Amino acid sequence: MTDTDTAEPTAPPTKRQRQATRIAEAASDGIGWLLLKILLLALVDAIAVYAAFVLFSKREWLVLALVVAVTVLVNWIYFARRAVPAKYLAPGVFFLIVFQVFTLLYTGYIGFTNYGTGHNGSKEQAISSLLASAQERVEDSPTYPVTVVEQFGTYGLLVTDPDSGDALLGTSEQPLEEVDAEFEGGQAVSVDGWTTLPLAEVFTLSEELEQLSVPLSDDPNDGSLRAPDGQKGYVYVSTLEYDADADTITNTDTGEVYSDTGHGAFAAEDGTELLPGWQTTVGFDNFIRAVTDSSIRGPLMSVTAWTFVFALVSVATTFFLGLLLALVFNNTRMRFRNGYRIILILPYAFPAFLSALVWAGMMNESFGFINQVIFGGADIPWLTDPTLAKVSVLLVNLWLGFPYMFLVCMGALQGIPEDVNEAAVMDGANPWQVFQRIKLPLLLVTVAPLLISSFAFNFNNFNLIYMLTNGGPRFTDVSIPVGHTDILISMVYKVAFTGQNRDYGLASAFTILIFIVVATISIISFRKTKALEELN
């Protein structure tokens, strides 16, 4: 018998031995990585603590609970020994939820609200704002000594009651409440948790202090305290009076009564609304308004039709030009073809928005290179005539897009075996038949998904439209600021972020429609392309 046969079997390690092994392995790891992990977690926790204080001061309980829960979860993941996969997955999942899932869900939610100019707060905030906008100083108002304080970017007034001598603290959102403060010369000058601003800094905040109105109590009809100079405060009472039981606002000067319309605003019997209103859910009103309001439906239909034309023509022209050039420069008998290939992909190497700006300058009607040099000083309105502007957009997009299709088609053609071409030639097929019956079907197997993604990209090609024409020339007699070359995504941008009235609810409704259209076309197209896979 050998020594191996006579050796006793090795006993499995005990629990204590396994723990000792893990401790030894952890101790053998670099101390630098451990310090880096602790430093990063400390940074995350510090940001979370700061956010928690801000959210607590603003009483955003739901967001505060989410911040605390996520912070606890992150610390548990990176301090636990068994959550190794989660250590790698957590950052990606976190950013996916924040930048993708949350954005999509929030956009969908906004599409069913009236969120926009004049409707961007709660009902309580709207009532306070309305009453504050109609405030007038009480003639016999006592003078309140005031100290301006600040906490997390929020300004407040530390007030000394002239009758009782008590210290009161309030902000534009929180009414005056009695606090424990330090006094100097009979005036409250500081309070824990708040920073007292020196007079030199207070003098630079005249605009902020003009707008700062601190409610005297929870009842907005009691008025508010204002201190425009940051040193002395006076009582102001509004000419508008809110009746909580009837849910109405009455103008005490005219007697006009404004009632809640149910759509986020107070309105009189003649339809006159008080603004600002408040954000509220309106259901499918934004979608209905998009197809029933003639001032919106007209430009929406035109922009939608042009968006499809722009996307389809852009994909078709760039693909066929790229394919043609790929067929030409795939010929092994052509000399210097590598140099030509480099020249052809140059437009793809430059940032698209810079190229669009250069083209916008060259197409300028008055001093552009094309009019002045190529056409001898002609005044051709490349970007101001509706038809020529659309042609210009398509030409510039062709110049920007064909190098990508050229590279894709070049790679796909080089992947087709030469045996297939030789067999077709031996069977008597001419070059056109070889291309039509063999090369093109095999090419589409590879290129078809890229054509679908190219359609989706051009359907939302905001950079080109914004940089080249800014959507112009603009439509006349419409209620939204859109033009002849606007596509749906640039129309959404203008509805949401330009003009005096910014309608985020309507813009979000348009975004939902765009998503549905692109998703539907993509799903149908991908299903159709499955038939091409049988060619392989």
pLDDT for position 458:
94
Residue 19: the pLDDT is: 64
Residue 141 has pLDDT above 90, yes or no: no
Higher pLDDT, 58 or 204: 204
Burial class (CB in 10 A: 0-12, 13-18, 19+), 350: exposed
In a domain, 423, yes or no: yes
Q: What is the mean pLDDT of residues 267-295?
A: 91
Of 113 and 479, the structure prediction assigns the larger pLDDT to 113
Share of the chain above pLDDT 90, in %: 48
CATH of the domain at 157: 2.40.430.10
The predicted pLDDT at position 9 comes to 56
Report yes or no on 37 lying in a domain: yes
Q: Do 451 and 309 belong to one domain? A: yes
**Contacts for 475 with CB less than 8 Å, ≥ 6 apart:** 298, 299, 302, 482, 483, 484
* 440 confidence band (pLDDT: 50, 70, 90): confident
The answer on pLDDT for 57 being more than 80 is no
In-domain check, residue 6: no
Tell me what pLDDT residue 364 has.
Answer: 94
Mark which of 82, 104, 135 sits at the end of a domain: 82
Whole-number pLDDT of residue 30: 56
- Whether 102 maps to a domain, the answer reads no
Is 421 in the same domain as 314?
yes
pLDDT band with cut points at 50, 70 and 90 for residue 65:
very high
Query: Could you report the per-residue pLDDT of 364-402, keeping only the tens digit for each?
Result: 999 999 999 999 999 999 999 999 999 999 999 999 999
Question: Based on the domain organization, do 152 and 21 belong to the same domain?
Answer: no
pLDDT at 421 > cutoff 80: no
Average predicted confidence (pLDDT) for the chain: 87
Judge if 266 and 300 occupy the same domain.
no
In this structure, the answer to whether residues 359 and 450 fall within a common structural domain is yes
Q: What is the pLDDT of residues 307-320, one digit of tens each?
A: 999 999 999 999 99
Q: How far apart are CA 296 and CA 267, in angstroms?
A: 24
pLDDT of residue 424 exceeding 90, the answer is no
422 falls in which pLDDT band (50, 70, 90)? confident
> Both 357 and 408 in a single domain?
yes
Regarding whether 151 and 65 lie in a shared domain, the answer is: no
Query: How far is residue 457 from each of residues 46, 518, 527, measured CA to CA in Å?
Result: 40, 10, 19
Q: Name residue, tokens 């926009």.
A: 116
Identify whether residues 257 and 385 lie together within a single domain: no
Rounded average pLDDT over 90-116: 91
Taking the CA atoms of 276, 277, 282 and 288 in sequence, report the sign of the dihedral they define.
negative
In a domain, 1, yes or no: no
Examine the domain organization and report whether 233 and 303 are in the same domain.
no
Number of domains in the chain: 3
- Is 109 part of a structural domain of the chain? no
Judge if 232 and 327 occupy the same domain.
no
Going by pLDDT thresholds of 50, 70 and 90, the confidence category of residue 17 is low
We report the CATH number of the domain holding residue 407 as 1.10.3720.10
Expressed as residue numbers, the domain containing 53 is 16-82
Same domain, 307 and 392: yes
Q: Which residue has the higher pLDDT, 322 or 345?
A: 322
507 belongs to a structural domain: yes
* 99 within domain boundaries: no
500 confidence band (pLDDT: 50, 70, 90): confident
Do 143 and 187 meet the contact criterion of CB atoms below 8 Å apart?
A: no
Q: Which of 214, 244, 274 is the last residue of a domain?
A: 274
Task: State how far the Cα of 40 lies from the Cα of 48, in Å rounded to an integer.
Answer: 12
Inter-CA distances, 341 with 313, 346, 396, 402, 413, Å: 24, 9, 20, 12, 15
Q: Give residue 531's pLDDT.
A: 57
* Higher-pLDDT residue of 442, 374: 374
Q: Over pLDDT 70: what percentage of the chain?
A: 93
SS (H, E, C) 337-369: HHHHHHHHCHHHHCCHHHHHHHHHHHCCCCCCH
CA 66 to chain centroid = 21
- The three-state secondary structure class of 500 is coil
DSSP codes, 288-350 = HHHHH-HHHHHHHHHHHHHHHHHHHHHHHHHHHHHHHHHHHHT-TT-TTHHHHHHHHTHHHHS
| In the predicted structure, residue 225 carries a pLDDT above the cut 60 | yes
| Phi, psi angle pair for 219, to nearest 5° | -85, 115
pLDDT score at 533: 55
Q: Are residues 245 and 339 in the same domain?
A: no
Q: What is the average per-residue pLDDT within 458-482?
A: 90
User: Among candidates 117, 111, 115, which has minimal Cα distance to 508?
Assistant: 111
pLDDT tens, position by position, 149-189: 999 889 999 999 998 899 999 998 889 999 999 999 889 99
Check residue 449 and give its pLDDT: 86
Pick 423 or 279 by higher pLDDT: 279
Using alpha carbons, list the distances in angstroms from residue 323 to 345, 400, 414: 13, 15, 12
